[in-house]
Amino acid sequence: MIFRLDERLLFPDPALAEPDGLLAVGGDLSVNRLLLAYQNGIFPWYSDDEPILWFSPHERFVLYPERLNISKSMRKVLRSDIFTVTTNQCFSDVMDACSTAPREGQDGTWITADMKAAYTDLHHKGHAHSIEVWQGDTLVGGLYGVAIGNVFCGESMFSRVSNASKTALIWLCQSGRYNLIDCQVYTEHLESMGAVMISREEYIAMLHKTVA
Protein backbone atom coordinates (compact mmCIF):
# COMPACT_ATOMS: atom_id res chain seq x y z
CA MET A 1 0.00 0.00 0.00
CA ILE A 2 1.31 3.46 -0.95
CA PHE A 3 0.46 6.16 1.60
CA ARG A 4 -0.37 9.77 0.77
CA LEU A 5 1.27 12.31 3.06
CA ASP A 6 -0.32 15.56 4.17
CA GLU A 7 0.91 18.52 6.22
CA ARG A 8 1.38 16.40 9.35
CA LEU A 9 4.99 15.56 10.11
CA LEU A 10 4.86 11.78 10.10
CA PHE A 11 5.59 8.73 7.96
CA PRO A 12 4.00 5.27 7.89
CA ASP A 13 5.92 2.24 9.15
CA PRO A 14 8.74 1.57 6.62
CA ALA A 15 7.91 -2.15 6.79
CA LEU A 16 4.75 -1.35 4.80
CA ALA A 17 6.73 -0.28 1.71
CA GLU A 18 6.01 -1.85 -1.66
CA PRO A 19 8.40 -4.54 -3.01
CA ASP A 20 10.32 -1.82 -4.90
CA GLY A 21 10.66 0.20 -1.69
CA LEU A 22 8.06 2.86 -2.50
CA LEU A 23 6.36 3.85 0.76
CA ALA A 24 4.60 7.20 0.38
CA VAL A 25 3.72 10.07 -1.93
CA GLY A 26 3.45 13.79 -1.24
CA GLY A 27 4.45 15.93 1.69
CA ASP A 28 7.29 18.41 1.34
CA LEU A 29 11.08 18.68 1.48
CA SER A 30 11.32 20.72 4.65
CA VAL A 31 14.34 20.22 6.90
CA ASN A 32 12.26 18.62 9.64
CA ARG A 33 10.52 16.18 7.29
CA LEU A 34 13.77 15.18 5.61
CA LEU A 35 15.46 14.57 8.96
CA LEU A 36 12.51 12.49 10.17
CA ALA A 37 12.67 10.48 6.96
CA TYR A 38 16.40 9.75 7.18
CA GLN A 39 16.13 8.87 10.88
CA ASN A 40 13.68 6.13 9.85
CA GLY A 41 15.47 4.78 6.78
CA ILE A 42 13.36 6.72 4.26
CA PHE A 43 14.54 9.02 1.48
CA PRO A 44 12.97 10.99 -1.41
CA TRP A 45 13.63 9.91 -4.98
CA TYR A 46 11.60 11.28 -7.86
CA SER A 47 11.77 13.19 -11.15
CA ASP A 48 10.57 16.66 -12.11
CA ASP A 49 7.37 15.31 -13.67
CA GLU A 50 6.41 13.30 -10.56
CA PRO A 51 5.11 14.11 -7.07
CA ILE A 52 7.54 13.61 -4.19
CA LEU A 53 8.09 9.86 -3.81
CA TRP A 54 9.46 8.40 -0.56
CA PHE A 55 11.32 5.09 -0.53
CA SER A 56 12.45 2.61 2.11
CA PRO A 57 14.07 -0.38 0.36
CA HIS A 58 13.76 -3.80 1.96
CA GLU A 59 17.54 -4.12 1.84
CA ARG A 60 20.25 -1.47 2.13
CA PHE A 61 23.65 -1.50 0.46
CA VAL A 62 26.08 -0.26 3.10
CA LEU A 63 29.79 0.12 3.72
CA TYR A 64 31.40 -0.43 7.11
CA PRO A 65 34.45 1.88 7.16
CA GLU A 66 36.62 -0.63 9.01
CA ARG A 67 35.96 -3.20 6.25
CA LEU A 68 36.89 -0.84 3.42
CA ASN A 69 38.85 -2.58 0.68
CA ILE A 70 41.41 -0.36 -1.05
CA SER A 71 43.08 -1.92 -4.08
CA LYS A 72 46.84 -1.79 -4.60
CA SER A 73 46.40 0.52 -7.59
CA MET A 74 44.21 2.87 -5.52
CA ARG A 75 46.72 2.89 -2.68
CA LYS A 76 49.31 4.04 -5.20
CA VAL A 77 47.00 6.85 -6.33
CA LEU A 78 46.50 7.98 -2.73
CA ARG A 79 50.24 7.98 -2.06
CA SER A 80 50.88 10.06 -5.16
CA ASP A 81 49.09 13.09 -3.67
CA ILE A 82 47.63 14.02 -7.05
CA PHE A 83 44.38 14.95 -5.27
CA THR A 84 43.53 17.33 -2.46
CA VAL A 85 40.43 16.61 -0.38
CA THR A 86 38.28 19.18 1.41
CA THR A 87 34.91 19.02 3.12
CA ASN A 88 31.94 21.42 3.00
CA GLN A 89 33.80 23.95 0.86
CA CYS A 90 31.41 24.06 -2.10
CA PHE A 91 28.33 21.97 -1.35
CA SER A 92 26.20 23.47 -4.13
CA ASP A 93 28.92 22.88 -6.73
CA VAL A 94 29.12 19.22 -5.73
CA MET A 95 25.34 18.83 -6.03
CA ASP A 96 25.38 20.53 -9.43
CA ALA A 97 28.17 18.23 -10.63
CA CYS A 98 26.32 15.15 -9.37
CA SER A 99 23.14 16.25 -11.15
CA THR A 100 24.88 16.51 -14.52
CA ALA A 101 27.11 13.42 -14.23
CA PRO A 102 26.14 10.75 -16.80
CA ARG A 103 24.67 7.60 -15.24
CA GLU A 104 24.48 4.26 -16.99
CA GLY A 105 20.86 3.32 -17.59
CA GLN A 106 19.54 6.74 -16.53
CA ASP A 107 18.05 9.41 -18.74
CA GLY A 108 18.12 12.73 -16.91
CA THR A 109 18.53 13.27 -13.18
CA TRP A 110 16.54 12.91 -9.97
CA ILE A 111 18.47 15.85 -8.45
CA THR A 112 15.83 18.45 -9.30
CA ALA A 113 15.92 22.16 -8.52
CA ASP A 114 13.67 21.52 -5.50
CA MET A 115 16.01 18.79 -4.27
CA LYS A 116 19.01 21.08 -4.62
CA ALA A 117 17.27 23.80 -2.63
CA ALA A 118 16.15 21.36 0.07
CA TYR A 119 19.55 19.72 0.57
CA THR A 120 21.34 23.06 0.47
CA ASP A 121 19.04 24.10 3.32
CA LEU A 122 19.97 20.89 5.14
CA HIS A 123 23.62 21.76 4.57
CA HIS A 124 23.21 25.26 5.99
CA LYS A 125 21.57 23.70 9.06
CA GLY A 126 24.59 21.40 9.50
CA HIS A 127 22.96 18.10 8.49
CA ALA A 128 24.13 17.61 4.88
CA HIS A 129 27.80 17.50 3.95
CA SER A 130 30.01 17.41 0.89
CA ILE A 131 33.43 15.96 0.23
CA GLU A 132 35.36 17.70 -2.55
CA VAL A 133 38.31 16.30 -4.51
CA TRP A 134 40.59 18.75 -6.28
CA GLN A 135 43.36 18.62 -8.82
CA GLY A 136 45.08 21.91 -8.31
CA ASP A 137 42.29 24.50 -8.28
CA THR A 138 39.87 22.32 -10.29
CA LEU A 139 37.02 20.38 -8.69
CA VAL A 140 37.31 16.90 -10.22
CA GLY A 141 35.20 14.71 -7.95
CA GLY A 142 33.20 14.46 -4.79
CA LEU A 143 30.10 13.28 -3.01
CA TYR A 144 27.38 14.57 -0.71
CA GLY A 145 24.95 13.11 1.79
CA VAL A 146 23.11 13.47 5.07
CA ALA A 147 24.59 12.70 8.48
CA ILE A 148 22.35 11.03 11.05
CA GLY A 149 24.56 10.68 14.10
CA ASN A 150 27.42 8.40 13.10
CA VAL A 151 25.63 7.11 9.99
CA PHE A 152 26.36 8.89 6.70
CA CYS A 153 23.56 8.53 4.16
CA GLY A 154 25.29 8.96 0.82
CA GLU A 155 23.18 10.61 -1.85
CA SER A 156 25.33 10.91 -4.95
CA MET A 157 28.91 11.18 -6.17
CA PHE A 158 30.67 12.30 -9.33
CA SER A 159 34.06 11.95 -10.95
CA ARG A 160 35.54 13.99 -13.78
CA VAL A 161 38.87 12.17 -13.72
CA SER A 162 39.69 8.58 -12.84
CA ASN A 163 39.64 7.68 -9.14
CA ALA A 164 38.36 11.06 -7.93
CA SER A 165 35.07 9.76 -6.48
CA LYS A 166 36.87 6.76 -4.98
CA THR A 167 39.22 9.17 -3.24
CA ALA A 168 36.24 11.03 -1.76
CA LEU A 169 34.66 7.81 -0.48
CA ILE A 170 37.92 6.55 1.00
CA TRP A 171 38.47 9.89 2.75
CA LEU A 172 34.95 9.67 4.19
CA CYS A 173 35.54 6.15 5.49
CA GLN A 174 38.91 7.06 7.00
CA SER A 175 37.69 10.30 8.60
CA GLY A 176 36.69 8.45 11.77
CA ARG A 177 33.37 10.30 11.88
CA TYR A 178 31.04 7.49 10.86
CA ASN A 179 30.38 3.85 11.75
CA LEU A 180 28.31 3.18 8.65
CA ILE A 181 28.03 4.59 5.12
CA ASP A 182 24.64 4.04 3.48
CA CYS A 183 25.25 3.61 -0.26
CA GLN A 184 21.53 2.93 -0.95
CA VAL A 185 21.89 1.34 -4.40
CA TYR A 186 24.00 -1.68 -5.32
CA THR A 187 26.92 -1.24 -7.74
CA GLU A 188 29.75 -3.63 -8.56
CA HIS A 189 32.18 -0.76 -7.98
CA LEU A 190 31.04 -0.29 -4.38
CA GLU A 191 30.89 -4.03 -3.78
CA SER A 192 34.54 -4.27 -4.80
CA MET A 193 35.33 -1.72 -2.08
CA GLY A 194 33.61 -3.83 0.57
CA ALA A 195 29.97 -2.73 0.55
CA VAL A 196 27.39 -5.36 1.53
CA MET A 197 23.63 -5.79 1.71
CA ILE A 198 21.87 -5.70 5.09
CA SER A 199 18.18 -5.90 5.94
CA ARG A 200 16.12 -2.76 6.40
CA GLU A 201 15.41 -3.84 9.99
CA GLU A 202 19.13 -4.03 10.79
CA TYR A 203 19.75 -0.68 9.12
CA ILE A 204 16.90 1.11 10.94
CA ALA A 205 18.01 -0.38 14.26
CA MET A 206 21.44 1.21 13.73
CA LEU A 207 19.81 4.54 12.88
CA HIS A 208 17.62 4.51 15.97
CA LYS A 209 20.61 3.61 18.13
CA THR A 210 22.69 6.52 16.83
CA VAL A 211 19.76 8.96 17.13
CA ALA A 212 19.13 7.84 20.72
Residues 53 and 67 in one domain: no
Domain of residue 11: give its range. 3-58
d(CA 61, CA 182): 6
> What is the reported pLDDT for 110?
78
Residues 153 and 129 in one domain: yes
Residues 52 and 68 in one domain: no
Residues 6 or more apart in contact with residue 202 via CB below 8 angstroms: none
From 13, 31, 58, the end of a domain falls on 58
Count of domains for the chain: 2
> What is the reported pLDDT for 85?
98
> What is the reported pLDDT for 107?
47
Q: What is the pLDDT of residues 44-88, one digit of tens each?
A: 999 888 999 999 999 999 999 999 999 999 999 999 999 999 999
Residues 82 and 41 in one domain: no
From 58, 73, 104, the end of a domain falls on 58
Whether this prediction's pTM lies above 0.85 is answered by: yes
Residues 44 and 65 in one domain: no
Q: What are the beta bridge partners of residue 180?
A: 151
Order of strands, sheet of 22-26, starting from the edge strand that comes earlier in the sequence: 3-5, 22-26, 53-55, 43-44
Q: What is the pLDDT of residues 88-119, one digit of tens each?
A: 999 999 999 999 886 554 444 679 999 999 99
Residues 121 and 45 in one domain: no
